[in-house]
Amino acid sequence: MNFLSTIVTFDNLHEVRRLFHWGPIIALSVIAICSTMAILDSIIWYWPLDTTGGSINFLMLINWTVLILYNYFNAMFVGPGYIPLGWKPEHQQDTQYLQSCRVCQGYKSPRSHHCRKCNRCVMKMDHHCPWINNCCGHLNHAYFTSFLLLAPLGCSHAAVIFIMTMYTQLYERISFGWSTVKIDMSAVRQVQPLIPFSVPAFAATLFALGLALGTTIAVGMLFVIQMKVIIRNRTSIEAWIEEKAKDRIQHYQTGEEFIFPYDLGSRWLNFKQVFTWSGTPKGNGMEWPVHPKCHQHTLTIEQLKQKADKRMRSVLYQAVEDYNGACCPVNKGLQTFFRTPCTEEPRIPLSKGDPILATRGTKYVHSLVIIHLFQDINVADSGLRVRGWFPRRCVEKCHYDTAASDGTSDKKVN
């Protein structure tokens, strides 16, 4: 009893709830189906107790499953690491270079960002991954990337087992006209398998083969993306910040030279920042080794510049129709109903006459502009800063003079 209490405590028991989400449910279901079918088919195709090859094949299959689940659960439960609530830098003067977080009631350390799903500021946040129902960040980046590597390798092995099982079981039963296509199966068990390969078994194997091939392609592409991020020592968010920095410098012709501060100039050095023999990444998640021409707050200063520029470019809108925040609003037209954006962004309810300051917007265009996705909105009357979407027809752009005369520009949120 004491042993169990040291593992499951009231402090970490709430983390188990992460499993009850569509992402982990689907991911674990795919792993369970592919692993179970691969084990059963390996018994049918290559009985592990008859030959050395069969034993190695079976042990490798079990090894893939264990490693995949180990890295998956570590990525989910170890988590990315969070900035302490109410955090402040050691030196008070450094606060002028940092953004504050009203939710966490503190400052955001370099490379950290607030995740609306986790409701915390995340260390070196790359993205929030629905498949692990957690953020990918400082502490779990290596586990997450290892999972992205092992899953395609394990699924590729399983796919070979599925194909060979179907081939060996159907070759003698169905004539495909492949008289010249033969595979040497002398090392494989030639007696009747312990598990009969029936029509349901064939259907299940075919289904598992589709899952394995699809996972190999999809997760393999994600692994390539993450490795590009790691060897450049940039997160996905930081790559976007760097791109906007170059656009800002070019637009205003400031003559600045922006150097990304966290690229150490060597792919191997960047790689070792994430992957270590101990499994724990280097650093405390709040201070980082930087380029010789940069300092700890090079990127945070650039973020403040971009934020100020974003406020300058904000556009004032006014709600002309009420909207109750429904996911698929029926009363806003068929186009709006059927072309609702498939995102997890919240729906923003509106009341007629509400002033809205939009700092960014993305139009969903087909033949007509149907939806306007506001990603950073300041409701001028309340000073509330929210993100999400509402039907484009519910708002109307105001003239600049109207915004100036109302004095709403003074109410923009930093």
| Active-site residue set | 129
Task: Judge contact between 273 and 287, C-beta under 8 A.
Answer: no
Please give the Cα distance from 142 to 46 (Å, whole number).
34
> Smallest Cα–Cα separation from 109: which of 92, 93, 121?
121
Cβ–Cβ contacts within 10 Å for residue 279, how many? 12
Please give the Cα distance from 153 to 318 (Å, whole number).
53
- Alpha carbon distances (Å) from 355 to 229, 307, 321, 352, 411: 39, 21, 12, 9, 11
**Residue 111 corresponds to which tokens in the numbers above?**
């490379």
Give me the residue label for tokens 């004032």: 316
CB < 8 Å & 24+ apart, contacts of 24-27: 24/76, 24/131, 24/132, 24/133, 26/131, 27/72, 27/131, 27/132
User: How do strand 120-122 and strand 315-319 relate by DSSP bridges?
Assistant: unpaired
Task: Judge contact between 101 and 114, C-beta under 8 A.
Answer: yes
Q: Is 205 strand, coil or helix?
A: helix
Please give the Cα distance from 389 to 373 (Å, whole number).
5
Cα dihedral 157→159→160→162 (10° resolution): 130
